[in-house]
Amino acid sequence: MEITQATAAELLRAMEQNELSCVEVTQAFLDAIQTRDVAVQAFLHVDPERALQQAEAVDQKRRNGQSLGRLGGLPVAVKDVLCTQGQPTTCASRMLQNFVPPYDAHVIERLKAEDAVLLGKTNMDEFAMGSSTENSAFQKTRNPWNLEHAPGGSSGGSAAAVAAGMAPIAVGSDTGGSIRQPASFCGVVGMKPTYGRVSRYGLVAYASSLDQIGPFANDVHGAALLMEVLAGYDSRDSTCADRPVPRYTERLDQPLDGLRIGIVEEHFTEGLDAEVESAVQDALKIYESLGARIEKVRLPHSRYAVATYYLIAPSEASSNLARYDGVHYGFRAQQFSNMVDMYSTTRGEGFGAEVKRRIMLGTYALSAGYYDAYYLKALKVLRLIRRDFDEAFAKVDVIAGPVSPTPAFRIGELVDDPLAMYLSDIYTISANLAGIPGISIPAGLSREGLPIGLQLMAPPFEEERLLRAARMFERETDWHRRRPKLMLTPQAGE
């Protein structure tokens, strides 16, 4: 078995049967990072020594016959928006370039408790604001399928790490599609859970009412396994739901009888790439062959989702990012004449262009005389979008459709066109506004050999239904087993 091409389940089985040690598995992924990440640039921080120490501790527990957690020595990559005690957490921003948190985020605590091995922190769009991972202050991550193309964003580093075989599973965050869109671009599985299913304690905030943490993996089982670990109640997050977490992996292979799949008429209109539409239609035919019933549903207010999102999210960002002022912690400008100048110069130098753009959008929308016209109206439309989903799910079990209008675009192609970049999330944003779970699964390749994802969405807290529906498709296809040439071709030093 080629370690870096194996699924999470295959690696766990090999370690449990003593065919591989955790140290061997961890070293294989560290070697892959050393050779492949020169090209991909998915990681901002890697700590080989600490990772190997964690791996040795897992091996020691296994040798002693001690019980191990559910991740049992699986290496994990973590988006650099989650606090990790004693290790840098930069949010890919100069503002936090030297920040080392004194505590772990809740999900990091959960990973450690379940015996994961933390490989390192992955690159992202600065403060999770972007759809291409080009907004990082430190480096541009590239798509392992074609290094001239973007991996998506803002969790592009985590998606690219899994796609390139540098981690079997990874953690990302999704505010408007930041897990699902890069999962689609990179040909991996990525899931945004229901808002409140996973604690946001220790997640550096972008838009607090929309942010959610979720898994990446190279198959549905890996995503389900990681979801079991990430999900659960945490009293430190007041929005975290106190609900039991199912063992998603136990019923994963049980097909959903009489599955009703909704197709949104508004999703198949002008702007949708023909190859993406064809891949989605082919996927629906596979579901029909499995006994699923396809029904048309309407989400009439989805046309306002992008406008609504880009009022609510920047408004919350304007508030959340006010704390980065050069006084409390983080970056401070070296040259300033007085305190007011220190604030403005610090924020001017510390934030990148996209972050500044969204702060200004949000500050404007919240300002006196404009609050009612923009922010308050956006909240009202958000309620209408949620109601549309409630009515649709009264008729169907899941909603299927595209993840992004196109396969991965070229690096630099949309940098000077913010609106076009924002529209790349047109099919994912509404799930965040409605607070419902969504998943992207590999469903095809374009003529250029770039991955195309299929998006499934389900009612709140129906992650099990979503994962089982995704697994139904995965069992009938081999798209999730395709690997980019970068991963299959030995790199220098391998």
Tens of pLDDT, residues 387-412: 999 999 999 999 999 999 999 999 99
* DSSP 8-state code for residue 91: T
Angle at 14 between CA 8 and CA 16, to 5 degrees: 100
Looking up tokens 């923009």 gives 374
Q: Which of 266-280, 460-474, 479-493 comes out lowest in average pLDDT?
A: 479-493
Three-state SS string over 169-188 comes to EEEEEECCCCCHHHHHHHCC
* Mean pLDDT for the stretch of residues 335-350: 95
What is the reported pLDDT for 485?
87
What is the reported pLDDT for 488?
54
Contact at 8 Å (CB) between 414 and 132? yes
Residue 436 CB contacts under 8 Å (≥ 6 apart), including other chains: 194, 389, 457, 458, 459, 460
Residue 18 CB contacts under 8 Å (≥ 6 apart), including other chains: 62
Per-residue pLDDT at 490 exceeds 70: no
Residue 4 CB contacts under 8 Å (≥ 6 apart), including other chains: 28, 29, 32, 165, 166, 487
243-285 tens-digit pLDDT: 999 999 999 999 999 999 999 988 998 889 999 999 999 999 9
* Mean pLDDT for the stretch of residues 426-448: 98
Q: 3-class DSSP state for residue 93? A: coil
- Domain membership of residue 245 (yes or no) is yes
Cis peptide before 154 (omega within 30 of 0): yes
Q: What is the CATH number of the domain that holds 484?
A: 3.90.1300.10
Tokens of 64: 């002693």
Contact at 8 Å (CB) between 28 and 4? yes
Looking up tokens 């989650």 gives 82
160-197 tens-digit pLDDT: 999 999 999 999 999 999 999 999 999 999 999 999 99
**Antiparallel, parallel or unpaired: β 260-264 and 451-457:** unpaired
Give 273: exposed, middle or buried? Use CB within 10 Å, 0-12, 13-18, 19+: middle
Per-residue pLDDT at 494 exceeds 70: no
Tokens of 302: 């989805």
Under the banding of pLDDT at 50, 70 and 90, the label for residue 487 is low
Average pLDDT, the chain: 96
- Domain membership of residue 341 (yes or no) is no
Q: Give me the number of domains the chain comprises.
A: 1
- Domain membership of residue 42 (yes or no) is yes
Angle at 408 between CA 9 and CA 453, to 5 degrees: 45
Residues with a catalytic annotation lie at 79, 154, 178
Task: Provide the β-strand partners of residue 214.
Answer: 172
Other beta carbons less than 10 A from residue 80's beta carbon = 30
- Domain membership of residue 398 (yes or no) is no
Q: Which domain holds residue 90?
A: 3-259+459-488
Under the banding of pLDDT at 50, 70 and 90, the label for residue 491 is very low
Percent of the chain with pLDDT over 70: 98
End-to-end CA distance of the chain: 16
299-317 tens-digit pLDDT: 999 999 999 999 999 999 9
Contact at 8 Å (CB) between 82 and 213? yes
- Domain membership of residue 18 (yes or no) is yes
* Mean pLDDT for the stretch of residues 117-132: 98
Under the banding of pLDDT at 50, 70 and 90, the label for residue 235 is very high
- Domain membership of residue 198 (yes or no) is yes
- Domain membership of residue 37 (yes or no) is yes
458/452 Cα distance (integer angstroms): 20
What is the reported pLDDT for 492?
39
What is the reported pLDDT for 416?
87
- Domain membership of residue 367 (yes or no) is no
Contact at 8 Å (CB) between 188 and 214? no
